[in-house]
């Protein structure tokens, strides 16, 4: 065979292989992070010590009485002005006894994920009030129909490991109806692990009754909870919020795993200097952990210390900046160092358009968080406009970006199969290239991620095909997924039982 013929034959074999698709995903979710360490060990120690100082000397304000009783019983001590102080030893004991790793169940067990260690999963968060309209390319108010669409869309995307309701159905005015219909949208459209928020503690029990219907009977949900609650029980700086604390009590009673989010804003509700910021927000999230411990020791809580940045020119939250990338990575590093399940918010952007700013900000903030080993990267998919907006196009683009993140995390395997000098010598002295080497075919499936939305054609081919942007390609892909058949994940009997008991609005 001539060299040209060998090249052609090799190319045909490769094309045939690619047409079949890869034998397995070369970079699935749950890769291991931690290769990026923004802080030195001594710096983590200093920030942690400062956080413990704050809890011991300043403590928490606005402590609801019910919680105060529990905290004092657990070893906290009263301070001035109604504040409650946490001795260092209490905090250390709470961390030592906290849940370090847990299974975040999907209704489909194959979709469950294990949270903890240095594993990385991307998922959603957020409470966007606007949606980037697929037709107009402009923002409009988010609706219940959007939430159903987002839930269906993400159900088809591999790299979104769980689905937190990502937008608020602003067309549902009543808070109870809103919580009920949000929960229903999750049950109806996906069997991944899901998460929601409860506006009031009184909403928890009835909604758990809905989960029980989907789980197979009363009490079934609590035995294998597949919904996690997002709660922000701390109001920065350094005080509790009564409504959210009440929700925490109720969630723990129903065995709902918690994501306790601190979203302090640098320069506004927390210090602008980054180290001081990290110390305060660490203290605040530790205050959530002590609270959970005081109610039920060892209850699963994702330690979600999200460093938010305010653009001091305007006072507005900015989610796509470099300080956010850096502080989220540092936050993940600190939480993993403590051995707790870590949650941060990354792959955020301040862009409204699905444009170059969008890509740069998401690419950098997501990679920094992933490399640092954040267990759960919230807000990572579909969010735009400083978390004010949600976008269908963003979902499909972010899903592909996460494959790139996972491929980078997977790293470089160094071993006899991958570092074979004999094979190199043979190829160099033989054909003089590697196109038709056995190694090449195997590595092609095993080691390389082939994006579907990224355009790798030449400038001429791109122009001939209409000079389209990633935004346009993503619009098509999102439409295609939304228009395709999608399973209903509730049986007719479950549907009926839910609709008998709850006011399910069309969405």
Query: Binders of a second copy among 329-388, rule CB under 8 A?
Result: 329-330, 350-364, 367-368, 371, 385-386, 388
Cβ atoms < 10 Å from Cβ of 177: 16
Using CB under 8 A as the binding rule, the residues of this chain from 146 to 165 that contact a second copy are none
Q: CA-CA distance, 315 to 12, in Å (whole number)?
A: 58
Using CB under 8 A as the binding rule, the residues of this chain from 190 to 219 that contact a second copy are none
Cβ atoms < 10 Å from Cβ of 22: 14
Q: CA-CA distance, 75 to 182, in Å (whole number)?
A: 38
Which of 29, 31, 39, 221 lies at the binding interface for a second copy (CB under 8 A)? 39
Report the candidate in 160, 111, 164, 167 with the shortest Cα–Cα distance to residue 142.
167
Which of 1, 205, 312, 452 lies at the binding interface for a second copy (CB under 8 A)? 312
Tell me whether strands 121-122 and 376-378 are parallel, antiparallel or unpaired. parallel
Using CB under 8 A as the binding rule, the residues of this chain from 72 to 101 that contact a second copy are none
Q: Does 474 help bind a second copy (rule: CB under 8 A)?
A: yes
Q: Which stretch binds a second copy (CB under 8 A): 14-22, 180-188, 224-232, 482-490?
A: 14-22
Q: Does 127 help bind a second copy (rule: CB under 8 A)?
A: no
DSSP class of residue 201? Answer: G
Strand partners of residue 344: 377
Q: Does 41 help bind a second copy (rule: CB under 8 A)?
A: no
Q: Which is nearer to a second copy, 460 or 500 (CB)?
A: 460
Q: Which stretch binds a second copy (CB under 8 A): 102-110, 151-159, 323-331, 487-495?
A: 323-331
Q: Does 30 help bind a second copy (rule: CB under 8 A)?
A: no
Q: Does 325 help bind a second copy (rule: CB under 8 A)?
A: yes
Residue 336 Cβ vs a second copy, minimum distance, rounded to whole Å:
15
Residue 389 Cβ vs a second copy, minimum distance, rounded to whole Å:
6
> What three-state secondary structure class fits 32?
strand
Q: Which stretch binds a second copy (CB under 8 A): 63-71, 182-190, 434-442, 496-504?
A: 434-442
Strand partners of residue 130: 141, 389
Using CB under 8 A as the binding rule, the residues of this chain from 233 to 252 that contact a second copy are 237-238
Q: Does 169 help bind a second copy (rule: CB under 8 A)?
A: no
Query: In Å, what is the CA distance from 268 to each residue of 272, 307, 385?
Result: 8, 12, 20
Q: Which stretch binds a second copy (CB under 8 A): 37-45, 142-150, 159-167, 204-212?
A: 37-45
| Neighbour-count burial for 91-106, b at 16+ CB within 10 Å, e otherwise | bebbbeebbbebbbbb
270, 236 Cβ separation under 8 angstroms: yes
Q: Does 453 help bind a second copy (rule: CB under 8 A)?
A: yes
Q: Does 37 help bind a second copy (rule: CB under 8 A)?
A: yes
328, 374 Cβ separation under 8 angstroms: yes
């Amino acid at each position: 065979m001539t060299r040209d013929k060998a090249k052609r034959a090799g190319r045909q074999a490769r094309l045939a292989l690619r047409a079949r698709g890869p034998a397995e995903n070369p970079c699935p979710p749950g890769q291991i992070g931690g290769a990026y360490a923004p802080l030195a060990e001594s710096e983590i120690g200093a920030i942690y010590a400062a956080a413990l100082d704050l809890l011991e000397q300043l403590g928490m304000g606005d402590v609801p009485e019910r919680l105060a009783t529990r905290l004092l019983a657990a070893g906290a001590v009263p301070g001035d002005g109604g504040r409650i102080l946490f001795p260092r030893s209490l905090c250390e004991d709470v961390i030592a006894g906290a849940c370090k790793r847990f299974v975040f169940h999907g209704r489909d067990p194959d979709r469950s994920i294990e949270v903890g260690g240095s594993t990385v999963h991307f998922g959603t968060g957020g409470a966007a009030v606007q949606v980037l309209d697929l037709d107009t390319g402009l923002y409009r108010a988010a609706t219940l129909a959007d939430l159903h669409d987002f839930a269906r869309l993400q159900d088809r995307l591999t790299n979104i490991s769980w689905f937190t309701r990502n937008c608020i159905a602003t067309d549902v005015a009543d808070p109870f109806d809103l919580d009920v219909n949000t929960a229903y949208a999750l049950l109806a459209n996906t069997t991944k692990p899901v998460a929601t928020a409860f506006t009031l503690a009184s909403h928890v029990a009835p909604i758990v009754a809905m989960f029980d219907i989907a789980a197979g009977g009363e009490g079934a949900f609590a035995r294998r909870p597949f919904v996690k609650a997002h709660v922000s029980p701390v109001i920065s700086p350094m005080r509790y919020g009564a409504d959210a604390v009440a929700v925490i009590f109720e969630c723990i009673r129903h065995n709902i795993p918690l994501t306790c989010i601190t979203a302090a804003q640098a320069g506004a509700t927390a210090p602008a200097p980054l180290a001081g910021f990290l110390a305060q927000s660490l203290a605040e999230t530790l205050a959530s952990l002590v609270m959970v411990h005081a109610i039920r020791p060892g209850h699963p809580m994702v330690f979600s210390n999200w460093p938010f940045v305010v653009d001091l020119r305007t006072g507005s939250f900015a989610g796509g900046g470099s300080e956010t990338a850096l502080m989220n990575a540092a936050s993940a590093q600190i939480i993993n160092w403590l051995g707790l399940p870590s949650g941060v918010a990354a792959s955020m952007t301040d862009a409204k358009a699905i444009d170059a700013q969008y890509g740069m900000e998401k690419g950098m903030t997501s990679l920094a968080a992933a490399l640092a080993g954040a267990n759960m990267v919230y807000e990572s998919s579909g969010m735009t406009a400083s978390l004010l907006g949600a976008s269908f196009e963003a979902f499909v683009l972010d899903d592909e970006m996460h494959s790139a993140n996972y491929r980078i995390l997977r790293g470089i395997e160094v071993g006899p199969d991958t570092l074979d000098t004999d094979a190199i010598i043979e190829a160099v002295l033989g054909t003089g290239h590697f196109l038709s080497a056995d190694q090449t075919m195997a590595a092609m499936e095993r080691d390389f991620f082939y994006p579907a939305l990224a355009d790798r054609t030449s400038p001429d081919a791109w122009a001939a095909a209409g000079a389209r942007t990633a935004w346009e390609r993503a619009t098509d892909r999102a439409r295609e997924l939304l228009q395709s058949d999608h399973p209903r994940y509730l049986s007719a009997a479950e549907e009926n039982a839910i609709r008998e008991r709850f006011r399910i609005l069309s969405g």
